[in-house]
């Protein structure tokens, strides 16, 4: 998904959009290598699976689209597909008044 995430960051530059990665990989050092190899330029945190239970995450990846008020509006376990994700984000940007 890194390629699509990279394209989202580029396409939505200057808009009220933020991509934040929360990683639960077991090996934090290996994750650092992957983030560097994959040229991840957006914030990406390692949480050691601390969010899994309170956020009821059952699989990886889990994607959450959060609106401007901090409400989770969409949630998928696994990739919803690029077009579905793009539409969800674009709809929320329109709702927030972004052009």
Domain harbouring 15, CATH code: 3.40.30.10
Contact 16, 68 (CB under 8 A): yes
Burial of 26 (0-12, 13-18, 19+ CB in 10 A): exposed
Could you tell me the pLDDT band of residue 92, with boundaries at 50, 70 and 90? very high
Task: Please enumerate in sequence order all residues whose Cβ is within 8 A of that of 79, keeping only pairs 6 or more positions apart, or say none.
Answer: 1, 61, 63, 85
Enclosing domain of residue 11: 2-95
Question: What is the tens place of the pLDDT at every residue in 67-86?
Answer: 888 898 998 988 899 999 99
Domain count, the chain: 1
């Amino acid at each position: 998904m890194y390629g699509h995430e990279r394209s989202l960051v580029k396409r939505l530059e200057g808009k009220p959009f933020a991509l934040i990665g929360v990683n639960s990989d077991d090996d934090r050092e290996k994750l650092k290598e992957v983030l560097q190899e994959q040229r991840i330029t957006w914030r990406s945190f390692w949480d050691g699976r601390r969010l899994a239970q309170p956020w009821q995450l059952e699989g990886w990846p889990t994607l959450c689209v959060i609106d401007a008020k901090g409400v989770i509006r969409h949630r998928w376990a696994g990739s919803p597909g690029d077009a579905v994700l793009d539409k969800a984000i674009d709809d929320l940007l329109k709702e927030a008044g972004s052009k």
